[in-house]
Chains A and B, each alone.
Chain A
Amino acid sequence: MTQTLQKRTFTRRHALKVLGGAAGIAAIASPDTLLAAPGTSPFAVLRAQETVNLKWFMWSGSPAEVDAWKHLASMVTAKYPTIKIEFVTASWPDYWTKLPTEAAGGTLQDIISLQSLRTPGFADLFQPLTSFIDKDKFEVSAFDESIIGGLTYQDGLRALPYDFGPEVIFYNKDMFQKANLPFPKVDWTYDEFLDTAKKLTTGGKYGYGAWPYPDSWLPFALSDGATYLDSAGKLDLTNDSLVAAFSKYTELVHKLKYAPSIPSTKDTNYMQAQWMAGNVAMHVNGPWQMINFKSGVKFDFGIVPMPKGTKGSVTVSAGSGFGVSKTTKHADEVWKAVTVLTGPEAEQYLASAGRAFAARKDEQQYWYKNAVEGSQETLEAALKSVVPYKVTPQWQQVSTLLLQYGIPAMNGQTDPKDALTQVQAQAGG
């Protein structure tokens, strides 16, 4: 029953017939549509039957990911036949530029996506979900607590999470075997990491892929006890502990040369691509990439927690979810859609596809089942040592600037401290 159809048929004489039919269909299709309709006006019943077209804005980085999201959109329509979803996508960095533009232009999509590290910076664009949760008596406790915390800002949860996960090291098993090296153990140390990287660096290939995005190197710094925020939660990139840790990280490239030098680029996935191409043996990434690696690499690989530094193996975790945009005209439908997109079935699908380490605790098993061997042991170990990834509202800018200034520091052209000072000066405010 589409809008156009109604326009054509909605005359006084037909009204009753249409109404009768509509009510019948509504009752069969989903009993709660009728119950949810405010009042008893026949128009309310009719409206509940109109097709609602929702736009869903989400980042993506490969055809496999796009397919997974489109599949999820179809799951929503399968459950609520009157809700149709149009999937709109952008690359990871573009997504965060375009989201505010859409909001300012009054074209913000209905369902929008949020990553926990961007919560303080972008929460304003999302409606707090409290009232929806209360009304539906929605079970938030089915989700991992840390990611619920990560997506909460001031007056409430801003998005229902679909995934989360700690940063771990992905390694190319074929390269290890070729170099006659044992696979890294869950409790390996930084010295073992260095030694391994050294031995893997041969014949134009490198042991490790260093990358200046904070998610890639902060785990190393945290494992050495460094901090990047001061006690008041403000950005503090220039303290001695962090400068020392970042300097040590850059040395992997310019001094030890266990990691390749990097061209300047705005491709945030550059190093990931190098790893996928078999040019570097190890790199830091999250479990959400399993989907791309399983379909995109031609070698066996494994994952292992961050090597132990002076303060043990510490890592950060991040996760993402979907929320109701501030400006949507269909908040109730969006909420319904979001509950499906993050529902048990969707989570099972995403986890099995390797796109998401499920935020719903009961569905995490599906990720383990379909991931690579040893994943469960690694993730469980990593999750034990994970610290909350606290960020500032400018974290998006911090990440972009670290990518820009970190590259010459890694290539040995600028002092790592100067690079951090520049980022602090531009994004510390």
Chain B
Amino acid sequence: MDREDGRGFPLGQVISHGFLILVALLWLFPFVWMISTALKPNADVFAMPPRVIPTDIQWGNFKAAWNYAPFGRFMLNGLLVAGIGTFLVLLTSSCAAYAFARLDFPGRDNIFVAYLGTLMVPQEVIVVPMFILMKNLGWINSYQALILPWAFTAFGTFLLRQFFLTIPFELEDAALLDGASRFRILWNIMVPLATPALAVLGVFTFINYWNSFLWPLIIVNGQEHATVPLGLNIFMGQYGSQWNYLMAASTISILPSVLLVLATQRYLVEGIALTGLGGH
């Protein structure tokens, strides 16, 4: 709890750092082991005693994993689904949020209550009707089935509405006097001012789409439309005994997430504090 600077014994500091490093290494160990296993020949995966640094490094495992399952395809699928999904969420949410925050129309409060009321409903409650809906639309095994059901969220609307409410009316009034359209106001005034909220919403929406597993598992068969987690699951089902390939595949599949966290690490705490969202 030593928040004040200059206090605290150097020895305490050393112990504190040492212990923290130990815990961090422990936390990283599963990933280290994953990479280590990914580089071993299959016969050495369970060799005793276990070796963190393989004696016989097989870079070819990555190539093999990549070839046995179309990971490039999985990633492109994931990018497509998460990209379009995120775009739709940001676009439709900001429009609806603007209506709720700034415009008066009949039924506004009732509609807003309906939005609020669904915020707590878990996804699992609607997967069955959603599956039946997709079945009847003939959308099983399609990109639209992966994207659309989760692209019109009450949540994004709600979050952005809260943010828009904090923006002063005066800016808008001036623009209205100049004869700007509502759309121009949204696009030129509200959206730029809401950039932090949009960025955080965008990043977490993207991650949620990217990591989503239950829904793709239900709605997608085979590799053609599989996203990364589903592709990994397919890979595991088929090559379950080849732990070196499995771990190589895992390494490939976690790489984008790791890069994203590293790229945004400076904003992690602030972003979470801003919106309190994301995560599994």
Interface residues of A, Cβ cutoff 8 Å to B? 57, 60-63, 66, 88-94, 98, 101-102, 104-107, 204, 267, 269-270, 272-273, 276-279, 296, 298
Contacts and interface: CB of A to CB of B under 8 A. Distances in A.
Contacts of B138: 105-107
Given A276-B241, A277-B45, A277-B241, 20 more contacts: A60-B238, A63-B64, A63-B239, A66-B68, A88-B222, A88-B223, A89-B222, A89-B238, A90-B238, A93-B237, A105-B134, A105-B140, A105-B141, A106-B140, A107-B138, A267-B237, A273-B240, A277-B42, A277-B43, A278-B43
16 contacts: A60-B238, A63-B64, A88-B224, A89-B222, A89-B223, A90-B237, A91-B240, A102-B140, A104-B140, A106-B135, A107-B141, A107-B221, A267-B241, A270-B240, A277-B43, A277-B45
A104 B222 contact: no
Interface in B10-45: 42-43, 45
Contacts of A279: 46
Nearest to A86: B224
Interface of B: 42-43, 45-46, 48, 64, 68, 134-135, 138, 140-141, 221-224, 234, 236-241
A276 B43 CA distance: 9
Given A106-B138, A277-B46, A90 B239 contact: no
B44 to A, nearest CB: 10
Contacts of A66: 68
A61 B238 contact: yes
A104 B221 CA distance: 12
A298 B43 contact: yes
Contacts of B241: 267, 269-270, 272-273, 276-277, 296
Contacts of B234: 90-91, 94
B238 A62 contact: yes
A106 B48 CA distance: 50
A305 to B, nearest CB: 25
Contacts of A60: 238
B49 to A, nearest CB: 12
Contacts of A273: 240-241
A217 to B, nearest CB: 20
B67 to A, nearest CB: 8
Contacts of B45: 277
B221 A101 contact: yes
Give me the 10 closest cross-chain CB pairs, A-B, nearest first: A91-B237, A105-B140, A273-B241, A267-B240, A98-B221, A91-B238, A88-B222, A63-B68, A105-B135, A94-B237
B140 A204 contact: no
A11 B169 CA distance: 65
Chain B CB count within 10 A is highest, among A60, A107, A298, for: A107
Contact of B240 (A90, A107, A269): A269
A372 B73 CA distance: 38
A20 B238 CA distance: 48
Contacts of A277: 42-43, 45-46, 241
Nearest to A277: B46
Contacts of A296: 241
Contacts of A89: 222-223, 238
A101 to B, nearest CB: 6
Nearest to B139: A105
A7 to B, nearest CB: 24
A84 to B, nearest CB: 16
A204 B49 CA distance: 12
Nearest to B224: A88
A301 to B, nearest CB: 15
Chain B CB count within 10 A is highest, among A57, A66, A273, for: A273
A270 B42 CA distance: 15
B135 A104 contact: yes
A312 B221 CA distance: 44
Contacts of B134: 105
Contacts of B43: 277-278, 298
B222 A204 contact: no
Nearest to B222: A88
